[in-house]
Amino acid sequence: MKDTNKKWAFIFIAANLVLFLVFFAWPAILGVYYSLTEYNGNVATFIGLENYINLFQDSSFYKAMSRTFLYTLIGVPFVYVTSLFVSVMLTSKHTKGKNVAKVIFFFPWLVSPIVVGVLWRWMFGESFGFVNYMIQLIGGDPIPWSSNGNFAFLVVLFATAWGGTAFNMLIFMGALISIPKSLYEAADVDGGSGWQKFLHITLPSIRSTSFLVILLAVFNLMKEFPMVQSLTNGGPGTDTTFIVQYIYETGFDQMKVGYASAASMVLFVILLVFSLIQFKFAKGGRVDE
Amino acid sequence: MKKTFLLLFVLLSTILVACSGNNSESNGESGSESNGEKMQFYVSGDTVEGSALTKMSEKYTEETGVEIEVVDVPYDDMVTKITNMMRAEEPPALARVTGFNPAWNGKLMDLTEVAEQNNVMVDMGITVEDKLVAPPLDLTAVGMFINKSLFEEAGVSYPESEEEVWTWEEFLNSISTVVEETDAQYGMVMDNSEHRLNAFLYQHGSKGFYPDGDEYTTNEETEDALQRFIDMNDNTIMPKAVWTAGEDASSMFKSGRVAAYMSGSWQITDFASNIEDFEWEAVYMPYEDVRATNLGGNYLVGFEGSGQEEQAREFIDWLYQKENYEELATYGGYLPVTEDAEVEYELAQEAYQLYQDEIAASDPIASQQRNELVVKQLISQRSLGSSLADEMITTLNDEQSLDEAIENVKVEMTEAYID
């Protein structure tokens, strides 16, 4: 009986397995091989670990990497707080116009990240952007949104939160609605304030959801590319160039495919470490209630 | 149990492989079918340039009955796309390109005869081992545009004949006055492009980056000119965001609040039909040591192994014939590359004339550098993108010093073209 189940299980995943091997495992192995070669797109020459040795001495690689970490470190809490705040507001019984608000907050999820970038670029364009135009109308000095590295970084963070809220909001709202009402009623009886209820009932009840949201956000932000590409193109200079864009530029603009493969292997290892940590905490995918 | 699984896996993979095999076979068939009928012409261009070639292809079909399919490919994908087609041994018959890949070397048709018969300016094409493998199709040149309305409002004059050409000093003074006297936001903008920056460098007496012994080097004038360029990016003369953060220079100029725009001849058709809010004019570029522009433009190539080499050659021959070429240049707004062509442009005829003067007065470096670099894309193992522009972007953002930037460019070019 048990064996029959296993057989059927394999049969059901077979198609996926083949696709996985052909379109994921095989290219990944090729990537490992390319990372050990000097490859310009035409001829690959085996050079051993030279790419890795050069990579770990390359200051632009470290800059892209540290920018990515900084972006993740600030961006993830930011995304988490905004989506949770929006979800709490949208599930609160005191809020008016929830349906309209849901549609508005969900809208960014419907457009491609590239469009998100273009929209924000249009709003925060330095010379003729909408925001600077408004600032000048009320008599202020225009802000160097794109030529100052810190402002550009800030704009990227805002755009990330704007684009990422929709999906997380859906997950949070599901979790918030399923918190038993009796807990809040009991707190009301004991005279708990709104803030106390949030801290002692809401947050603990959505712990596993929070965990999921944070992990997904970490992965998404570590791999951010299309939105930033169209928003700042990594600029000014390389101030918002994150690791995936760095890999793209070395691989396709400078045609150093081997070198870029080595960089992606490093990214792969970092993401793998994050997944293992997640696996450990989530106990191998079992959701703990 | 394990056996069943293994069997199933083998079965599935076989099906998958078989399917993909079938696909490539049928692709091959449809490829050879189209080889028999239509000739594929790969082109990337905006509506103006793309439609110019489409119109000419249609005319050719009317005259000869040979059908040509003009395939529009995004500019950035062209080289990769064709390289992949060549790897699959199914190259298109023809393409209009600006860049090359080492994989194409030895697989381009020798068009020396066709070009000579039709008075094509052969020295503007790419010659490898005495074979003209890529004749020029059209010519572009870097040039300066001004917002005439702003200049008039400020009462500032600009050179209207070649005798009055301004120096960079005079030019910078003029645009500063325009910014002071009008509501212009910036004095000038320059496209974020190495091609435009090189013209600026040549005008200051730079010889660009060139091989000297076993490494690449440059002359002193380059550093001085680059320093001036950095000083100009002060958010008053030039907006820093165009170079450091990739803001669109062209749309800034079109907004009417920028006094001058250093770009090139390819903008003329667009400006003539789309700028309505103010008057613009193409003017002579300023100089410091010498007058110089920087030439660019497209090449026409035919591929060996397309199975349609003869038809392609006939079409190229037809396209370069005086009457046909003049028609093409009129549609596309091209500067001609055949010696006897007389083109009557529909819009802004005088702007084109000015560009012809600019090219004639230019230091020879303007064409030499371009052809040398493009030939390198074809014959060296690795091609370099825009090394100087990339290094200048980080320099402008204070990430490194100018000396470091120049040193990096030398090293990168040496690595790519000499080692």
pLDDT at A92 over 90: no
pLDDT at B238 over 90: yes
Quick one: A255 exposed, middle or buried, by C-beta within 10 A (0-12, 13-18, 19+)? Answer: buried
Q: Which residue has the higher pLDDT, B367 or B203?
A: B203
Q: Tens digit of pLDDT for each residue in B89-128? A: 889 999 999 888 888 888 999 999 999 999 998 888 888 8
Mutation choice for B interface testing from A233, A248, A254, A256 by most B CBs within 10 A? A254
Dihedral Cα A276, A281, A282, A284, nearest 10 deg: 50
Highest mean pLDDT out of A37-41, A46-50, B148-152: B148-152
Q: Tell me, what's the pLDDT at A125? A: 85
pLDDT-wise least confident of A127-141, A150-164, B161-175: A127-141
Contact status, residue B223 vs residue B203, Cβ threshold 8 Å: no
Residue A6 pLDDT grade (very low, low, confident, very high; cuts 50, 70, 90):
confident
Distance CA B110, CA A145 (A): 51
Q: Tell me, what's the pLDDT at A57? A: 92
Which of B244, B257, B383 lies closest to A255 in CB terms?
B383
Quick one: B32 exposed, middle or buried, by C-beta within 10 A (0-12, 13-18, 19+)? Answer: exposed
Mutation choice for A interface testing from B244, B380, B390, B415 by most A CBs within 10 A? B244
Question: Is A149–B4 a contact, with Cβ atoms under 8 angstroms apart?
Answer: no
- B258 to chain A: closest CA residue: A127
Which of B247, B383, B398 lies closest to A125 in CB terms?
B247
pLDDT at B85 over 50: yes
pLDDT at B377 over 70: yes
Q: Tell me, what's the pLDDT at B383? A: 64
Distance CA B361, CA B374 (A): 23
Quick one: B79 exposed, middle or buried, by C-beta within 10 A (0-12, 13-18, 19+)? Answer: buried
**Domains of chain B from N-terminus onward:** 39-139+296-349 (3.40.190.10), 141-295+382-417 (3.40.190.10)
- Cα B23 to Cα A127, B30, B89, B90, B235: the distances in Å are 51, 11, 16, 15, 56
Mean pLDDT value across residues A169-178: 92
Q: Tell me, what's the pLDDT at B30? A: 38
Six-digit token string for B78: 């062209």
Residue A208 pLDDT grade (very low, low, confident, very high; cuts 50, 70, 90):
confident
**Domains of chain A from N-terminus onward:** 29-282 (1.10.3720.10)
pLDDT at B81 over 50: yes
Residue A282 pLDDT grade (very low, low, confident, very high; cuts 50, 70, 90):
low
pLDDT at B4 over 80: no
Chain B residues interacting with chain A (CB cutoff of 8 angstroms): 1, 4-5, 8-9, 12-13, 16, 83, 101-103, 185-186, 235, 239-241, 244-247, 251-252, 255, 257, 381-385, 393-394, 396-399
Distance CA A161, CA A141 (A): 26
Mean pLDDT value across residues A143-147: 88
Distance CA A69, CA A72 (A): 5
- A60 to chain B: closest CA residue: B399
Which of B9, B185, B244 lies closest to A127 in CB terms?
B185
pLDDT at A84 over 80: yes
Cβ-based contacts of B103 with chain A (< 8 Å): 41-42
Q: Is A128 on the interface with B (CB under 8 A)?
A: yes
- A228 to chain B: closest CA residue: B245
Question: Is B186–A125 a contact, with Cβ atoms under 8 angstroms apart?
Answer: no
pLDDT at B9 over 70: no
pLDDT at B17 over 60: no
Mutation choice for B interface testing from A127, A131, A156, A228 by most B CBs within 10 A? A127
Helix (H, G, I), strand (E, B) or coil at B144: strand
Distance CA A83, CA A87 (A): 6
pLDDT at B37 over 70: no
Distance to chain A for B9, nearest Cα, Å: 7
Mean pLDDT value across residues A83-109: 89
Helix (H, G, I), strand (E, B) or coil at B141: strand
Cβ-based contacts of B381 with chain A (< 8 Å): 40, 42-43
Q: Tell me, what's the pLDDT at B29? A: 37
pLDDT at B395 over 80: yes
pLDDT at A264 over 80: yes
Q: Tell me, what's the pLDDT at B8? A: 52
Q: Tell me, what's the pLDDT at B270? A: 84
Mean pLDDT value across residues B46-72: 86
Q: Tell me, what's the pLDDT at A194? A: 86
Q: Tell me, what's the pLDDT at B307? A: 87
Q: Tell me, what's the pLDDT at B7? A: 53
Residue B25 pLDDT grade (very low, low, confident, very high; cuts 50, 70, 90):
very low
pLDDT at B291 over 90: yes
Q: Which residue has the higher pLDDT, A63 or A4?
A: A63
Q: Which residues contact A59 (CB under 8 A, 6 or more apart)?
A: none
Q: Tell me, what's the pLDDT at A43? A: 75
Residue B306 pLDDT grade (very low, low, confident, very high; cuts 50, 70, 90):
confident
Q: Tens digit of pLDDT for each residue in B199-234? A: 999 999 999 898 898 999 999 999 999 999 999 998
Q: Tell me, what's the pLDDT at B335? A: 87
pLDDT at A48 over 60: yes
Q: Tell me, what's the pLDDT at B198? A: 92
Which of B9, B103, B247 lies closest to A42 in CB terms?
B103
Q: Tell me, what's the pLDDT at B31? A: 38
Q: Tell me, what's the pLDDT at B21? A: 41
Distance CA A202, CA A192 (A): 13
Q: Tens digit of pLDDT for each residue in A174-202? A: 999 999 999 999 998 988 888 898 999 99
Percent of chain B with pLDDT over 70: 89
Model confidence pTM above 0.90: no
Distance CA A44, CA B215 (A): 24
Mean pLDDT value across residues B42-63: 85
Residue B346 pLDDT grade (very low, low, confident, very high; cuts 50, 70, 90):
confident
Distance to chain A for B103, nearest Cα, Å: 7
Distance CA A161, CA A76 (A): 9
Mean pLDDT value across residues A83-107: 89
